[in-house]
Structure 1
């Protein structure tokens, strides 16, 4: 990490800073399940893809943050969307501008503690007013090319860890199946004659 940052300064930029981030909430549109027209476009809600529909509200690379209805407050719902998708009114839709790597933003927000920014009682809500106060660490913010290079490398490393972790999970599942299979064979002793 030290080599990557080269002793560079990190600035904490709020999500509301329009020089660095775009909040694209105005295009969100909720559609009742009974009125949705089936299609190939993912329809995102607070916790994931809710449906597949025709049409789209957004096209590009975005991060979706639950506005309300996150399944967990400690592991707040953050989604990464690429290409055409439909966003309902239960997610904030944001992305980095030219000087912020959106995949880097996604990784950062995936580990961010949203609890201090939530309002409401039983059903916690992340209002737009509170969301735009969330600070994001931007290395070398005054040197856009260097900053993007660092952000891209951090995002690449984290994507690699995710891929490796997924591969290990699949390998562990395969080994567990193999273990149960051979355990069954090895512990399947023939019953002595005369026993039921």
Structure 2
């Protein structure tokens, strides 16, 4: 393999324009790029974007240079404009195959090296002057073409898995709406506290001893506001309940804003703890929250927050307990299929990364 500086591999297109009203339809921001996917599935802005934006051509490789640790790389699906917090990259075809180029830019081999030269604390950014001098090993062009063919075939399979996983989520949503109606437009809903007991009596101040028990000794499992571990304002609970994220206003419809916990565990107090009453199946209720668009119930400017008062105003769809349990069984079966697909996707991703590593490092 030969070694090249990045400026010998890629052309950094810096052409810009000030957006017009028409440009909002072909605008791509970093928020439109998904980590781990070269395909763009959403774009556009409600109003014309402010400030100069990069011009992009269909087929260009778009790289998020701001917060590069998010590893956002995609192929431009059309001519348009791209966020100035990114880079528009094109291949130098003398040293890199055009089909292999986006696969190289999205590889951990390239991204990990690029992330290391990010500067800044709040929003670390990669500068071209630093990136262009990084050196990378590349196989010869025939080997790149062969590798690209294998990797793109694997990418197609990965995309197929992702579509099936998304279809599973859509099936649950459509089945819910067919049986019980739109969760955001419930005509026969019950008051929130008819379905749930709100637990807010278990909060305890945290001290060094408590923190040690919670993290280092791991006596009990720990859950953050969104099911992930964090380290502020915890309390100990001992029940089976739904945890509903306080900041669910930043979640879109279908995003998991709730999860089920059972037994003694630490829970961050930025999660509302809800115990379903006898008339309410916990798995059914958890699915209801996942489908509900919470944004109309939150308040705040910099941080959208679901207060307990607003939470109590949420109308809850609550069919018969038998109907709830039947639907919960359907969700469990769907989740089982989804888990199997996710496992297969994870294995494929691991194989994909191994092949790139073996051929580039």
Which residue is equivalent to 1:25? Answer: 200
State which structure, 1 or 2, has the greater radius of gyration over its C-alpha atoms: 2
Verify the 8 A CA contact 1:41 1:84 in the aligned structure 2.
yes
Q: How far apart, CA to CA, are the structure 1 residues paired with 2:257 and 2:208?
A: 21
- Find the residue that maps to 2:305 and give its secondary structure: coil
Does the C-alpha gap of structure 1 residues 11 and 167 become closer, same or farther in structure 2, counting only changes over 3 Å? same
Verify the 8 A CA contact 2:225 2:267 in the aligned structure 1.
no
Deviation at 1:109, TM superposition (A): 0.5
Deviation at 1:43, TM superposition (A): 2.7
Q: How far apart, CA to CA, are the structure 2 residues paired with 1:172 and 1:158?
A: 20
Q: Structure 1 regions of 5+ residues with no counterpart? A: 140-146, 185-196
Q: How far apart, CA to CA, are the structure 2 residues paired with 1:119 and 1:45?
A: 21
Which residue is equivalent to 1:159? Answer: 332
- Find the residue that maps to 2:321 and give its secondary structure: helix
Matched, 1:42 2:217: no
Deviation at 1:131, TM superposition (A): 0.3
Q: How far apart, CA to CA, are the structure 2 residues paired with 1:31 and 1:94?
A: 22
Deviation at 1:105, TM superposition (A): 0.6
Structure-1-length-normalised TM-score: 0.71
- Alignment partner for residue 107 of structure 1, among 287, 291, 296? 287
* Larger proportion of helix: 2
Deviation at 1:176, TM superposition (A): 5.4
* Larger proportion of strand: 1
Instruction: State the superposition RMSD in angstroms.
Output: 3.3
Which residue is equivalent to 2:251? Answer: 73
Which residue is equivalent to 1:144? Answer: none
Structure 1 runs of 4+ aligned residues shifted over 6 Å read: 179-184
Does the C-alpha gap of structure 1 residues 34 and 76 become closer, same or farther in structure 2, counting only changes over 3 Å? farther
Q: Which moved more, 1:79-88 or 1:126-135?
A: 79-88
- Alignment partner for residue 323 of structure 2, among 147, 150, 168? 150
Aligned length: 169
Does the C-alpha gap of structure 1 residues 119 and 37 become closer, same or farther in structure 2, counting only changes over 3 Å? same
* 1:5-58 deviation per Cα after TM superposition (whole angstroms, max 9, x unaligned): 6xxxx83012123xx321112213352677413232123331224279xxx732
Q: How far apart, CA to CA, are the structure 2 residues paired with 1:67 and 1:30?
A: 19
Which residue is equivalent to 2:346? Answer: 173
Verify the 8 A CA contact 2:249 2:298 in the aligned structure 1.
no
- Find the residue that maps to 1:121 and give its secondary structure: coil
Q: Structure 2 regions of 5+ residues with no counterpart? A: 1-174, 180-186
- Find the residue that maps to 1:135 and give its secondary structure: coil
Q: How far apart, CA to CA, are the structure 1 residues paired with 2:224 and 2:190?
A: 27
